[in-house]
Amino acid sequence: MQISDRQIDDFKTDRKDITPPLPVVLRLVPILFYCSIAVAIILSSIFFIQFRLAIKKRDDHRAQAAALAAQTQQSKNERAALEAQIKKATDIQSWVSGSRPIQPLLVEITRSMDPKSSILDLRLDRGIDDPTQIQMGLKIGADSNKQLDLTLSRISSMNFRAFSPSQTLGRGILDFKATLVRKLPQNNTSAGETEGTVQ
């Protein structure tokens, strides 16, 4: 028996309508999704590479800065040590400049005495505040200033200058006091100056 198409259709139950198609705009969503995946992968890869490079650069700079800081600290330590040495050298120089041999001056003063004169008392004291200065007290058995002039000239030949001199003469005793100061201070004092040997 022939059944016409129309008749078969007639047997079908009425099909409920499927969901309506999406609007055209929303059909772009999947396309956008695929594009965003591609763009995200590309950009993330670029960012990741740059991220890794930046980390390496940062770590390198930090390591270099730490090394420089260590060198700076070492340099500071060296400077501190050098300053301590300078302080020590200055202190030693201060001591040495106040410790120049006094014996040659003493010998020169005693040698300056005329046969007619005699030293009754001779005193040389280094200054407390400034040991380079010497307080001299000299008592001579002499009747005139001639002996004193001679002694002072010999002191002058030893590169000393008499400051604040005072003298009294009475009963054949000349009492002279002065502060002796070196004319030209020599900073580069060498160890072991020439010994003043007396014969």
Partner 1 sequence: MNSKHIACGIIALLILALIQLTLWAQNNRIKVQREAADAQMAEEDASTQLLREQSQLSDLRRQSADLIEFLRIWQPYFLTIDNPQSAEVNMSMRVKDANLLSLSQRFETAPVNGNASIPSSVKALLTFEDDYVRLMNWLGQIEVQMPTIRTSSIRLSKGTRASDLRMEVTLEQPMLKQ
Backbone angles phi, psi at 28, to 5 degrees: -75, -15
Amino acid found at 59: D
Distance CA 153, CA 149 (A): 6
Among 101, 165, 172, 185, binds partner 1 (CB under 8 A): 101
- 185 near partner 1 (CB under 8 A): no
- 169 near partner 1 (CB under 8 A): no
Q: Which helix (H) or strand (E) holds 163?
A: strand 160-170
Tokens 């046969």 map to which residue? 115
- 186 near partner 1 (CB under 8 A): no
Least distance in angstroms from the C-beta of 168 to partner 1: 18
Among 98, 145, 159, 182, binds partner 1 (CB under 8 A): 98
- Segment interacting with partner 1 (CB under 8 A) among 3-11, 104-112, 142-150, 151-159: 104-112
- 131 near partner 1 (CB under 8 A): yes
Distance CA 163, CA 176 (A): 12
Lookup: tokens for 144: 């005139």
Nearer Cβ to partner 1, position 8 or 29?
A: 29
